[in-house]
Structure formats: C-alpha cells, structure tokens
A and B are shown apart, each in its own frame.
Chain A
Amino acid sequence: MVAENSTPHLHSAVEPKQTFRRALDMSARAAMPSLFIMFCAILLSAPFGVPGQAQLQFGIAMCTVWFWAYSRPKSMPALAVFLNGLVVEIFSFGPPGAILLSLLVIYGVAHHWRYGLSRLGFLAGWLIFSVLAVLASCFQWALVCVHAVALLSPVPGLFQAALTIGIYPSLIALFVWGRRTFANPDQA
C-alpha cells in the first residue's frame, strides 16, 4: 500500500497492547472519512437556505471518496463507498442512483490508479478529478433530462461541477492533515 508507509516510525517492533478501547479507537479513525460524508449529507439536507447546499453534498462526497480511495484504501473500501452513496441518495432528491454510481466510478478510477496518483503532483490530481467531476455532473444532467423527458439547461450541472472542483483544495488540505492525525488508525 502507499499511504501505510507514510508513518514508518510507528511500525516498530514494539506495538501498543491491543485492547478493546484501542480497537474501537482504530475503527473510529478508519471510519472517519465515511462518517464525514454521512454527517455532511445529513447536515446539508437541513433547511439552512444556503445557496448550493445540494451541490455541496455531491462535491464533498466526491472529494472524500477520491482522496481516501487512493490515499488510504483501507479507510474507504468499496462497500463503505456504496453505503455512503446510499446515504447521500436518501438525503438528496436528485435522480435516483446518479450520485451512487458516480461515487463508485470515481472510487474505481482512484483505487485502480492509486500508485500512479500518489506519485502525481497536486495539480495533476486536481485536473484528473476535475474531468471526472464534470463527467459525473453531465451524467446526472443526462439522467434528469431522461426523467423530465425534456432538454433541460446544463448550467446547474456545470455549477455543481465548478463547486466540486472549487472545494477540492481546501478539503484535500483537511484530509492530508486528518490522515496524519485524527483519521490515522496507527495513532490510536
């Protein structure tokens, strides 16, 4: 794995004693990305009246799955992506299955290319993610058009893609910090 080697000093011969509390702490840290997606999905479905709430749901889920799928796949297995996608689907009112399928596809891409993506620079990773975010938004737009049996304006979809691409750097900064600290099972 790639990210498991990021904290080599912790993989010493002397391991802390495996207790129930430590196992619980490790599980909570490993589940942190999934909990983050679910918490944001529920929080952003509340009627705050903030513009772009629904688009943020999609953007946060996409960024989180993308980062953890190539950075630490153990914290974001395929089944967790599926469950997260289902939660986001339940707490949004878009065309059913569009977000779930987009998350699984972006997970597949990130997981399959995780070694290459880890070697790539931030900008190259951002660019590849941007292309995928635009494709996912276009897919969602196409599904909405099929549901409505009409050609709707693609502007909301493009806004969603732009918002997803725009929040990527700040979220990645948070996740990079989280990978070393609160979401690192090795530090339990």
Chain B
Amino acid sequence: MLSIHARQVLAKAVLPILILLAVGLVLLGLVRRPVVDGVRLMATDFMAPAYHGLVWPQERVMVWLTDLRGATDLAKENSRLRDENHALRHWYDVAVALAAENGRLKNSLHWIPETVPQYVTGRVTRDDGGPYSRAVLLDVGSGHQVRIGDVALDAAGFLGRVTEVGPHTVRVLLINDDASRIPVTLGTSHGDAIMAGDDTAAPRLIFYPQDHHPVEGERVETRGQSTMPAGLPVGTVHYTAPNRPVVVPDADLGRLDIVRVFDYGDDDSQAPDAPGRVRVKKLPQNPLSGPLPFSWMPNFPDMPGRGGQ
C-alpha cells in the first residue's frame, strides 16, 4: 500500500501526465495524421450498423412528411408531373436521336471505345465534416476495390474524391472542403480553371484564363487528369460578386444519401519518346569507391598533367 503522502503526490501528477499525453496526441496528429484517421475509420466501421438504426426513425418521418405533403396537394402535383413528363418525353426522343447519331459518327471514325468504369454504391454513414471540413463517410461493404483518388457522384453530379479507405468504409472529401482543388473545364467559354472549396456551399473558381472569364450560367465539367475522367457534370457558374465566380454544384452536398464511387483506373498511358529526346545516362552510385585502376601505372599517357602529349 502507498503512503498518504505518495498518494497525494500521485493524485497531483495525474492531470499533468494526462495533459502531456494529450499534447502527444496533438503532435501525433501533426506528424502522422493517417494513423489517427485510421483509428477513426475503424470506429466508424464498427458503428455503421448502429448509425443506420439511429437515422432510421428520422428517415421514416421524412418519408411520411413527403407523403403527407403530396397528399395535401395532389391536383397541383399531378399537373406539375404531367408537364414534367411531357418535357421528359421530348428530351427522351432528343437523347435517342443524338445517341444514334453519336453511334454512327463514332462508327465512321473508328472510335476506340472507352473503358467502362467499375463502381460501388454506398450509403452515407456519417457526415464527418466538423467545423472546418466537409467530408462524408460511405459504407461500401466488405471486399470493395475502392482506392484513394476515386471519384464520387450522386444522382445529379460530381461531389468529391476518396481520401481514406477502410475495410468497410471510405471517406469522401467533398468539393466544398477547404482542401479540395478540382481541375474543371467551362462549357461555353472552353477555358480551364481550378474549382477550390472554401467551406461554403458553392466552391470558387480560380486560375481561369484572364481573357476568357467564366460566363454566368455556363456548365462546369471535370477536366481529365490521372484517375479523374473528363466530362463529369459538376455544376453551373454563378457570380456572387464582380470577379468572383463560384460553382453552384449539381450534387446536393447538404443532404447526401446514396453515393456512387467510380474507379476509372490509373492513367498508365505513357507518352512516346519525342524525337531528339536524349535519355540521361545514370551515373554509377559510387564512382570512386575503389582504388583507382591506374594508380599503380608508372606512366599513364591519358592522365591530364602527367606526361600527356
């Protein structure tokens, strides 16, 4: 048994020791952030079924409310749906005609078909943003092939990229996170730009050509780069102030539910060697490691300053 004095000393030392441990965790987070995030992902994997149970009542209430709202305004809703159906039929005919034309043109051009991307669909387990970041965790089940850098889309458009992968769960950094930088192409002005998240609902457009400013309302699509394909719908340009274009995302970032993660594979296409390119010869690691081969020679003719002609 410890003496009373020893116990008092121990009691006083507990808090400083715990504070030191907490400082250690802060430092660990600074130098080895993936270790901490890995533990958090494991905890989320473990809690995923409980999360589904927790949000189930809320989902049911939302469904009932939607039904109730529809039931109170049936005539107006029917009229709206009829108009929408009519418009959709028109667009369906246009889409079929364009698809047929596209097929014919590709056929005549001997177009090499693009690879079909692999994808998994997952439900958002948790909104794991916090005060300073915008990210979600997806439950994609076991045995998935998701990799870091894969793109995530909801029903309407591009919403982010995978940053961490766990056994059952993946973390998707949303396009409005402060750390998100996505290369995009503008539909009408055909300029390239970078879409930078700033923790608001609409990410900013930066690094666009100064002679081709983005046009209000034009479409924004992804620009092809390594694992990200070109042409994924992102949103539309909107000016919140002069010279401050932002992208209004197509995806509903505030209320994500079902999300698909696409794996477009590595961009392993190597550019052919350009004519005239000189391959740099690698020097040996340790050129002067051993004794010089000519040191024992009494008169070496090629050695500079030693009897050269």
Contact = CB atoms under 8 A, between A and B. Distances in A.
Interface in B236-250: none
Nearest to B19: A104
B130 A92 contact: yes
A152 B132 contact: yes
A160 interface: yes
A91 B129 CA distance: 11
A49 B22 contact: no
Interface centre among B26, B30, B33, B129 (most CB of A within 10 A): B26
Interface in A67-97: 78-79, 81-82, 85, 89-97
Given A49-B127, A152-B132, A93 B15 contact: no
Given A46-B54, A49-B255, A79-B14, A54 B26 contact: no
A133 interface: no
A107 to B, nearest CB: 7
Nearest to B198: A153
Interface string A44-75: 01111100011100000000000000000000
Contacts of A146: 30
A97 B32 CA distance: 12
Interface string B13-30: 011001101111111111
Given A93-B130, A140-B131, A143-B26, A47 B125 contact: yes
Contacts of A111: 15
B254 interface: yes
A73 to B, nearest CB: 11
Contacts of B232: none
A170 B23 CA distance: 31
B135 interface: yes
A135 interface: no
B22 A100 contact: yes
Contacts, number: 120
B178 interface: yes
A90 B131 contact: no
Classify the interface of chain B: helix, strand, loop or mixed.
Answer: helix
Interface residues of B, number: 44
A146 B124 CA distance: 29
A46 B126 CA distance: 5
B130 A104 contact: no
B25 A100 contact: yes
Contacts of A78: 14-15, 18
A101 interface: yes
B40 interface: yes
Contacts of A43: 54
Interface string A152-188: 1100110110000000000000000000000000000
Interface centre among B18, B29, B136, B179 (most CB of A within 10 A): B18
Contact of B18 (A46, A95, A104, A156): A104
CB-based closest 9 A-B pairs = A96-B29, A97-B26, A97-B25, A156-B131, A96-B36, A101-B22, A46-B54, A54-B130, A93-B128
22 contacts: A42-B47, A45-B128, A46-B50, A47-B51, A47-B136, A49-B127, A55-B131, A82-B21, A91-B47, A93-B37, A93-B130, A93-B133, A96-B26, A97-B22, A98-B26, A101-B19, A101-B22, A105-B19, A108-B15, A144-B132, A148-B178, A152-B199
